[in-house]
């Protein structure tokens, strides 16, 4: 089990970044990975000056979708410059890139999120599409990912990110309600190893956002603090479990299936947490839970509750639900071994008002 050594979260905690480095004693030269647009400004104006006071820092900016070549570039820079750490400033793209490159280089990774759109800011995992690309290019031995060595989450900065990103984070968190249901099902039917502690942490994180929808719907600094705190809790639950089980069930398989189909057919996928939110409505229905309550909570914060809200055609949502069980065949969920039929998928999607 590997969990973050230091987690600092709150308003203006960027001021404590140098203290984190001194406390961890991880060296003074590093690579800073940042995402596109506004994120580069935050990195250069806020974070780089602090790092330069500590020592040498080399910037790598990401301007395109992640693939093996980008991760390799970060790794090569880290080795060539003899860097002792990698820090990512940004959202999921920058954090996934830095996290994986740091694992390859065997150096500590520092997560400095500028948005709270999913639990990758704290987890020992990377996105499904990046995993798929790495697996196809170089093999499973390059997929080992460590949890961040430290997390510095400045909620003042995070609260200034687009509203849609925070709502996506809410969607990724409410998904833990059904991911734990799926894990419990696999434990009962397949005797899969189950951690009560990890499951409880994931569920507690989900309940916190569910109990605070009125605050989260405002998408201000207090909202950012709640969502960020729960995303970190979810990431730690994965570290405790030794897998993504407590945080990823049938609702995530549905989202991953949409990701895969977006590459196949060329349509624009929605944000990860948005797709997971809709997936959670479906999974709640399949589990016989109160899917209307889940739907109402998502709607209350302004999240998507239908294929139309996602901006994805009904036919792709239907196909995603019928193939979701094939995404991770060894991960047993309410979808079963053989998945659900097209007719059953259409019925579930119509009953839950995801399609007309």
**Among the listed residues 226, 179, 173, the one whose alpha carbon sits nearest the alpha carbon of residue 199:** 179
228 and 337 housed in the same domain: yes
* Whether residue 286 sits in one domain with residue 343: yes
- State the Cα–Cα distance between residues 356 and 347, nearest whole angstrom: 10
Rounded mean pLDDT, 89-108: 96
198 and 65 assigned to the same domain: no
CB 46 within 8 A of CB 110: no
Indicate if the pLDDT at residue 64 is higher than 80: no
Tokens of 317: 């949502």
The verdict on 29 and 138 lying in the same domain is yes
Confidence of residue 55 (pLDDT cuts 50, 70, 90): very high
Looking at 161, 189, 217, the residue that finishes a domain is 161
Q: What is the CATH number of the domain that holds 106?
A: 3.40.50.1970
Tell me: do 145 and 234 sit in the same domain: no
Q: Residue 244 belongs to a domain with what CATH number?
A: 1.20.1090.10
Domain count, the chain: 2
Same domain membership, residue 66 and residue 198: no
Give the rounded percent of residues in the chain with a pLDDT score beyond 70: 100
Q: Is residue 356 part of a domain?
A: no
Least confident range of 35-49, 172-186, 225-239: 35-49
Q: pLDDT-based confidence at 1, cuts 50/70/90?
A: low
Closest CA to 142 of 87, 71, 74: 71
pTM of the model: 0.95
128/181 same-domain check: no
Q: In Å, what is the CA distance from 170 to each residue of 111, 128, 180, 304?
A: 19, 19, 16, 11
Average pLDDT, the chain: 96
Look at residue 1 and tell me if it is in a domain.
no
Q: Which domain holds residue 321?
A: 166-351
179 in the same domain as 326: yes
Q: Are residues 223 and 258 in the same domain?
A: yes
Statement to judge: residues 171 and 193 lie in one domain: yes
Domain closes at, from 136, 161, 186: 161
């Amino acid at each position: 089990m590997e969990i973050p050594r230091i987690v600092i979260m709150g308003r203006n905690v960027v001021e404590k970044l140098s203290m984190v480095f001194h406390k961890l004693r991880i060296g003074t030269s590093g690579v800073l990975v940042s995402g596109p647009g506004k994120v580069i400004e935050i990195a250069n104006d806020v974070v780089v000056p602090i790092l330069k006071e500590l020592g040498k820092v080399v910037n790598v900016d990401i301007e395109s979708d992640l693939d093996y070549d980008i991760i390799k570039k970060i790794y090569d820079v880290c080795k060539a410059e003899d860097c002792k750490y990698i820090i990512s400033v940004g959202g999921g793209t920058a954090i996934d890139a830095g996290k994986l490159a740091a694992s390859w280089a065997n150096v500590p990774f520092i997560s400095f999120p500028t948005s709270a759109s999913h639990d990758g800011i704290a987890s020992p995992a990377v996105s499904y599409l990046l995993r798929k690309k790495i697996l196809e290019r170089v093999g499973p031995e390059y997929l080992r990912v460590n949890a961040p060595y430290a997390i510095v989450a400045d909620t003042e900065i995070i609260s200034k990110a687009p509203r849609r990103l925070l709502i996506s984070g809410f969607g990724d968190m409410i998904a833990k309600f059904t991911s734990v249901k799926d894990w419990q099902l696999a434990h009962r039917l397949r005797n899969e190893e189950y951690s009560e502690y990890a499951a409880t942490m994931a569920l507690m994180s989900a309940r916190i956002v569910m109990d605070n929808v009125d605050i989260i719907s405002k998408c201000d600094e207090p909202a950012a603090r709640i969502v960020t705190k729960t995303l970190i809790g979810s990431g730690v639950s994965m570290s405790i479990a030794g897998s993504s089980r407590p945080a990823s069930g049938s609702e995530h398989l549905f989202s991953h299936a949409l990701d895969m189909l977006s590459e196949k057919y060329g349509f624009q996928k929605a944000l990860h947490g948005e797709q997971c939110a809709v997936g959670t409505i479906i999974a709640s229905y399949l589990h016989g839970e109160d899917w209307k309550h889940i739907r109402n909570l998502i709607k209350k914060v302004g999240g998507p509750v239908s294929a139309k809200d996602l901006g994805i055609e009904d036919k792709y949502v239907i196909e995603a639900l019928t193939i979701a069980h094939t995404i991770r065949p060894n991960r047993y969920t309410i979808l079963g071994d053989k998945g659900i039929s097209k007719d059953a998928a259409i019925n579930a999607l119509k009953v839950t008002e995801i399609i007309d």
